[in-house]
Amino acid sequence: MPNLSRITYYLPQNILTNDQLEKEYDSWSATKIYRKTGIENRHTAKGEKTSDMAVKAAEELFRSNPEITKDDIDFLILCTQSPDYFLPTTACLVQERLGLSRKVGAFDFNLGCSGYIYGLLLASSLIQATQSRNVLLLTSEKYCRYIHPQDRSTRTIFGDGATATLISETKGFATLDAFDWGTDGSGAKNLIVPAGGDALPCSSETAKEQTDDSGNIRSLNNIYMNGPEIFAFTLDTVPITIERVLKKASLEMGDIDFFVFHQANKFMLETLRVKLNISEEKFIIDMKDYGNTVSSTIPIAVENARRKKLFHNGAKILLAGFGVGYSWGSAILTWKE
């Protein structure tokens, strides 16, 4: 059974606070921003590339766990939607900078809020297929490069950051027991950077700014999020993937000791918690000082809970990621510490 072995994370030093945002947005106070999002601070990567953050997260994993060497790694997987280049693959750049063996397999995959679940699934599959023994899964996201400074709907929510997770054949603090996943591309338009790819190359036309009905300013080069549609999708989809992953693991809702969902925003999470009838003590919310770091939210929350010793030996933990794509996934872990 593949094991979740180690998690570390890196957050850029530059911090964007609610007090700073209050000075920029006339009608939004710091208190209002926190009340709507559950976020007080978010880190932004100024002068740092996605690969820089990924390397720093990985180097911290090796530094803080000297029993793990770079020679132990035989596969590198990097989840990002903000690659350094269209090509080459950012994972290849990270492999070279980390000094990993040239025998290491390395690739990127482009997923957002469900990305960590998919990464665990990919790593687990490589190990179960006996193609790997130790997989280094990196998540690194720099959404700030897509956000218009006058778009409150996204700037108040998203933060940048990276995580490193070691998935091992033999050793770890949790086993990876079951997975579920799904996709609905009909929702692609509701969380999107419209310009920049082959469908709509950047141009002077795509750079023209527009103001929406809520007073947010953005161009087609910036990220757009339809909050109400994303909210409705989440409330419809998350209960379904939870039901499916529980069935795959032969468990009931009451068997789960802790729930760690993608940290989208506090209001959405609390609505899900109430709908699913999950008690507060079982439900992890951990975004106040980071914001929505996309594919990095779940591993950051799990690692912080581990440091606080919130999880006990034998605990069943359900992870769920959901968002851009639309894409979603869930996983069940059994804690071993």
Catalytically active residues are 113, 262, 292
Whole-angstrom distance, CA of residue 45 vs CA of residue 13 = 8
Whole-angstrom distance, CA of residue 276 vs CA of residue 286 = 19
Closest CA to 297 of 332, 325, 269, 274: 269
Whole-angstrom distance, CA of residue 136 vs CA of residue 132 = 10
Whole-angstrom distance, CA of residue 139 vs CA of residue 261 = 16
Q: 315 near 258, Cβ under 8 Å?
A: yes
Whole-angstrom distance, CA of residue 333 vs CA of residue 124 = 12
Tell me the three state secondary structure of residue 204.
coil
Closest CA to 9 of 261, 300, 337: 300
Provide φ and ψ at 194, rounded to 5°.
Answer: -60, -40
Sign of the C-alpha dihedral, residues 181, 185, 191, 195? positive
* Tokens at 186, concatenated: 């009909």
Give the single-character DSSP code of 254.
Answer: G
Q: What are the CB-based long-range contacts (under 8 Å, 24+) for 193-199?
A: 193/146, 193/221, 193/222, 193/223, 193/224, 194/220, 194/221, 194/224, 195/219, 195/220, 195/221, 196/221
Burial 89-112 (b: 16+ CB within 10 A, else e): bbbbbbbeebebeeebebebbebb
Q: 42 near 14, Cβ under 8 Å?
A: no
Q: 319 near 330, Cβ under 8 Å?
A: yes
